[in-house]
Amino acid sequence: MVKSYASAEYSAAQKVPADELVRQYAPLVRRIAFHLRGRLPNSIDTSDLIQAGMIGLLEASKHYAPGREASFETFAGIRIRGAMIDELRKTDWTPRSVHRKIREMASAIQQIEHETGADASDQAIIERMGIDAAEYAKLLVDATSTRVLSLNMSRDDGDGEELQIPDEPDAEPVRQLESQRMLSDLGEAIEGLPQREKLVMSLYYDEELNLKEVGEVLGVSESRVCQIHGKALIRLRARLAEWRQ
């Protein structure tokens, strides 16, 4: 049934002129842009994200094929986000020192959890890193606007992640299998997060609430949500360390 729906949607989309398809899904581009913009520094221009997203939408209309499990909107959403992230890659505003500190925090979490068999606590991480609570809180906030954990994205300087997930239908079978394993491990890692961190990830990524809205749900400030989100991302980085090697 899903495949039939996807094929029908593709056939319908093929009958719509490209400019009309762009107008039809333009609201999706704007929604994704503003959602992504909520976790970025003020220096990032939303219009640049929208422009990149529109290019991603055009690419999606060209590459969507019958028989895909996902609907066109889902497929387009992935392409749109990818185009926006590619645009952000061109100008990385994050100092190398921040990337280095976040790597150190991920390493500390990995060591603590390996030694104790339990979730690394804030105090344990602070003591292991030899930093104070203020610096720790700032690093958690920095993590929400830094590419701590990215899919289909890498950096030449080694400061970013290299979790490559092929999305082309002709990707090599071995790479497809690896991507399935990586996604499975990512799902397990998210499921294994402390309850509050897992809830923030769900509300932010699945329900697409912004940080302020997530705070309203949890009854905490937006800055506190930002810290919880950052800690979840760094913890995931630590637990998926093998995929960065």
Q: What confidence category does residue 76 fall into, taking pLDDT thresholds of 50, 70 and 90? A: confident
Q: Is the pLDDT of residue 175 over 70?
A: no
Residue 134, pLDDT score: 94
Rounded CA separation 118/6 (Å): 43
* pTM for this model (two decimals): 0.59
* 100 HSE (CA, 13 A, CB side): 3
Q: Which domains does the chain have, with CATH numbers?
A: 2-89 (1.10.1740.10), 96-244 (1.10.10.10)
3-state secondary structure the chain: CHHHHHHHHHHHHHHCCHHHHHHHHHHHHHHHHHHHHCCCCCCCCHHHHHHHHHHHHHHHHHHCCCCCCCCHHHHHHHHHHHHHHHHHHCCCCCCHHHHHHHHHHHHHHHHHHHHHCCCCCHHHHHHHHCCCHHHHHHHHHHHHCCCCCCECCCCCCCCCCCECCCCCCCCCHHHHHHHHHHHHHHHHHHHCCCHHHHHHHHHHHHCCCCHHHHHHHHCCCHHHHHHHHHHHHHHHHHHCHHHHC
Residues of the chain with pLDDT > 90, as a percent, come to 27
pLDDT tens sequence across 177-201:
455 666 677 778 888 999 999 999 8
Rounded CA separation 114/61 (Å): 46
pLDDT tens sequence across 38-56:
766 666 788 888 999 999 8
Torsion sign (Cα): 41, 45, 46, 52? negative
How high is the mean pLDDT of the chain? 75
Q: What confidence category does residue 156 fall into, taking pLDDT thresholds of 50, 70 and 90? A: very low
- Within 8 A by CB and 6+ apart from 160, the residues are 99, 147, 150, 153, 154
Residue 136, pLDDT score: 94
Q: What confidence category does residue 221 fall into, taking pLDDT thresholds of 50, 70 and 90? A: very high
